[in-house]
Chain A
């Protein structure tokens, strides 16, 4: 309460956007390699339950994050086995993975439903956190919020500045060319898919260990789908993914603040609740409406299986 309103709104916005950023950046890498994994929702659910269980048994939230990451990676390996090795349809397999993950997480999560975890304290960055208004919101945050920023930097550097990123993009653009100059398309796609799954697992871990420290069935509540949509609407560009995630979080938090302020507003609350979705789509479509940049940034072979010997 001694915090100003702006600070607390900004703080909440960052927290709400963080799982979306982590999951969407993971998916972005996956899609840049030409693999469309629609299983984010189920992968997050598995990550959430694994992280909760591990944190419950070890008492260490970071072991929880590792467990979530491992669970997410395993889920995506399963997806890779189906779509990359067995050449199953990626859209159908991804949807199946979501249904499977949501269901399995509910099943293995049963014993954890009545438990809670202690809240993980925020990490305060000295000096920076003393900046008025912005400091307490930006630099007195959960560790995974900082991680999401580091991840963004890492993804941008990897995709556009590193040789490995160039190869990954080549695999997504033209797998046959990449293959013909000697790269293992399937191997690289496995790596990209596993990374995406691991990030979705961390996103889930953020929800069950840091955000609302509890496990309940269905707690992901569509955030996996929002992350998937963000990647497309941001036309596969990492910075725009982050902008979109914060915009979504920001509009959601603002509408809550408006409602809670007791202001006499004559807008139906259903419309207010839909506002984050509308605003995010509207803004991202607007800034990404250039056909040429869409063509430049969307991976050409997205969703298409690749058979190296064909």
Chain B
């Protein structure tokens, strides 16, 4: 009985609300918040790629207040499901959608064509359209700075890198880290273990322990869990986190890290959609744009290293220093970027070779 009563109550509530809604239609439309949808590849968790995007969402929500109403859908696999989820958001009034994984690209493109009035933003892809833009972060800038610290601090000169897949995005980060380390320590070498998974804490841990037992005393990772930093802490060596600050998992071990900061970008982009000034673009921002930050150096890092990192960071912010400014020599001794030149964004995003300083071999496909 009480169910029915509740139903009646709810139904009349809806009726009143609808009536009110119609009555206030004119006013309501002006105050209607922009509905912004986020599609995440993995659970938000406490650290990592998706966590950083969600932090960005929260910052944007805070900055824009009741002008926006956001919603996120987590754990959406890169497949036909993604298209369904994105289309559902688009058809239920979400006029701005951020899709935050590379594999969503073709689905985003398809939905963008079907819903010309919806603005779609795709992270880490390369396609654009009339209502479809993409964005990514120059995380290699942070990697370079981490590499400088690693090169300075390493006693064994062996730096370990736990990496997910041999794709340009990951290779670029390894190269930046190696170049940073080599710039201050010509004996440093980077050893890479591919775990062929974005996310497998057990395997990431095994890879870390393997690298440590082979002499690595500085570790970093391009995978999503906190296992690498945690294992380094346990074994008393140092680590550089990726995506998020992981000092909670390795207060002593973590010397620094490279983090993604999407808050300002999401706020600005959403504001431009609100203002009607949005234009399709490919945004690739780094330290200068505030999209990449390094984790403040651990207090165990000496002042001279900190001064060097601060200077380089300042130069990057000023645009006077590029981690891949020539000469860039690959591990076979071939010059890829001549002295005096700077690598193009195009070459950077198709990077398929290891630079000198990386001990592991990259198979050319």
Contact = CB atoms under 8 A, between A and B. Distances in A.
Interface of A: 1, 3, 5, 8, 12, 16, 106, 113-114, 116, 119, 207, 211-214, 216-219, 221, 223, 252-253, 256-257, 259-262, 264-270, 272-273
Contact of B193 (A16, A256, A265): A256
Contact of B206 (A16, A218, A272): A16
A260 B209 CA distance: 10
Interface in B200-250: 200-203, 205-207, 209-216, 225-227, 230-231, 234, 248-249
Interface stretch (B102-110, B267-275, B355-363): B355-363
Query: By CB atoms of chain B within 10 A, which of A256, A266, A272 has the most?
Result: A256
A152 B359 CA distance: 42
Nearest to A264: B361
Query: By CB atoms of chain B within 10 A, which of A113, A257, A261, A269 has the most?
Result: A269
B206 A214 contact: no
Contact of A216 (B166, B192, B203, B225): B225
A213 to B, nearest CB: 7
A221 B201 contact: yes
- The 7 lowest CB-CB distance pairs between A and B, nearest first, are A262-B359, A269-B194, A273-B196, A114-B46, A8-B213, A113-B46, A221-B200
A221 B45 contact: no
B40 to A, nearest CB: 12
B189 A269 contact: no
12 contacts: A1-B212, A5-B214, A8-B210, A12-B210, A211-B202, A212-B225, A212-B230, A217-B43, A256-B193, A260-B193, A269-B166, A273-B195
B250 to A, nearest CB: 9
Contact of A262 (B197, B249, B360, B363): B360
B206 A253 contact: yes
Contacts of B278: none
B284 interface: no
B199 interface: yes
Contacts, number: 112
Interface of B: 42-43, 45-47, 160, 166, 189, 191-197, 199-203, 205-207, 209-216, 225-227, 230-231, 234, 248-249, 359-361, 363, 365
Contact of B209 (A12, A216, A261, A270): A12
B160 A260 contact: yes
Contact of A1 (B189, B201, B215, B230): B215
A7 to B, nearest CB: 9
Given A219-B201, A260-B160, A273-B194, 15 more contacts: A12-B210, A116-B248, A207-B202, A211-B205, A213-B230, A216-B45, A217-B45, A218-B42, A218-B199, A219-B202, A219-B225, A256-B195, A259-B191, A260-B211, A262-B360
Query: By CB atoms of chain B within 10 A, which of A16, A119, A218, A266 has the most?
Result: A218
A256 B205 contact: no
B202 A113 contact: no
Contact of B196 (A219, A267, A270): A270
Contacts of A260: 160, 191, 193, 207, 210-211, 214, 216
B128 to A, nearest CB: 30
A261 B197 CA distance: 20
A33 to B, nearest CB: 30
Nearest to A7: B213
Contacts of B42: 218
B363 A268 contact: yes
